[in-house]
């Protein structure tokens, strides 16, 4: 399911490709842990059975991380009052109320399609739509429902004719 709704909150999750990249990095980390553990076991001349400890802990951590990415991690959490962004470096303002938004526009910083929510008191929130597990147009339609009462419809910045 692309976005999970409850009575008051809507969660926009990470795209499966982003989840796979993060999980792949965790598996590489596990391999490095086992490699380091093997070096310690060889240097200390202890029984190789001790390698089962970091291996078991590492495998459990990777499985737990995968479960968290799939079921709990989100890019945007929206409610009737406002939103909160997680998991996005350089997002700018991570949390705001819908009534504090002056305008919402699509942008293409560094060639990545993004939605930018510009705040009345300065600052902005930038959300790269390629990391969302929802269709770009559906995401824009969902946010238009939240923004309908507070600002004009979503527009595009000059030089960017494609919606995210």
Query: Which tens digit of pLDDT belongs to each residue from 75-87?
Result: 999 988 899 999 8
| pTM of the model as a whole | 0.73
Find, among 57, 56, 38, 34, the residue nearest to 48 by Cα: 38
Enumerate residues 6+ apart whose C-beta is below 8 A from 135: 2
Q: With cut-offs at 50, 70 and 90, classify the pLDDT of residue 24.
A: very high
Stretch (H or E) spanning 31: helix 16-44
The CATH architecture assigned to 77-156 reads Beta Barrel (2.40)
Query: Which tens digit of pLDDT belongs to each residue from 86-122?
Result: 988 888 898 999 989 988 888 888 888 888 999 999 8
- In percent, the amount of the chain with pLDDT more than 70 equals 86
Q: Bigger pLDDT: 159 or 8? A: 8
What is the model's pLDDT at position 7?
53
CA distance 114 to 125: 10
C-beta neighbour count of 104 within 10 angstroms: 24
- In percent, the amount of the chain with pLDDT more than 90 equals 44
Pairing of strands 101-107, 95-97: unpaired
């Amino acid at each position: 399911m692309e976005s999970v709704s409850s009575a008051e909150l809507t969660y926009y999750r990470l795209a499966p490709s982003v989840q796979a990249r993060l999980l792949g990095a965790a598996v590489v980390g596990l391999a490095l842990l086992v490699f380091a553990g093997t070096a310690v076991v060889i240097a200390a001349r202890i029984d190789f059975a001790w390698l089962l400890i970091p291996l078991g802990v590492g495998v459990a951590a990777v499985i737990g991380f995968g479960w968290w990415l799939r079921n709990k991690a989100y890019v945007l959490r929206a409610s009737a009052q406002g939103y909160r962004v997680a998991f996005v470096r350089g997002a700018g303002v991570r949390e705001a109320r819908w009534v504090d938004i002056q305008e919402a526009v699509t942008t293409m910083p560094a060639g990545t399609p993004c939605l930018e929510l510009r705040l009345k008191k300065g600052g902005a929130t930038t959300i790269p739509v390629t990391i969302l597990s929802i269709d770009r147009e559906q995401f824009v339609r969902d946010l238009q429902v939240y923004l309908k009462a507070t600002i004009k419809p979503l527009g595009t910045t000059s030089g960017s004719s494609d919606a995210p």
